[in-house]
Structure 1
Amino acid sequence: MIVKRLEQNQEQQMQLWLRQERIIDMLCRRSIEHETAIADLRLAIKG
């Protein structure tokens, strides 16, 4: 019984970690897109 609960807890932790990894990846992509958009705006303002 204890082993089964430990396995379930480990699986839940793994699922949480994977979800967090996907969120971090998405936020990194957005950040890069925003940086690109800001650079484009700066160029448009200067030009």
Structure 2
Amino acid sequence: MFQFEFTDEQKMLRDMARDFVNTEVKPLAHQIDEEERIPPELMRKIA
């Protein structure tokens, strides 16, 4: 039988990624689109 649900660890990682995007990436989305580059300060946070 196949397991189609995420593990607790996978759910935690998904939620962390979603929170990061909502708080760090979305506010800069327009700037990123306009400049066609990711600001270095955001890249440091991603790394």
The answer, yes or no, to whether TM exceeds 0.5 is: no
Please identify the structure whose Cα radius of gyration is greater: 1
| Greater relative contact order structure (CA < 8 Å, 6+ sep) | 2
Higher share of residues assigned helix: 1
TM-score by length of 1: 0.42
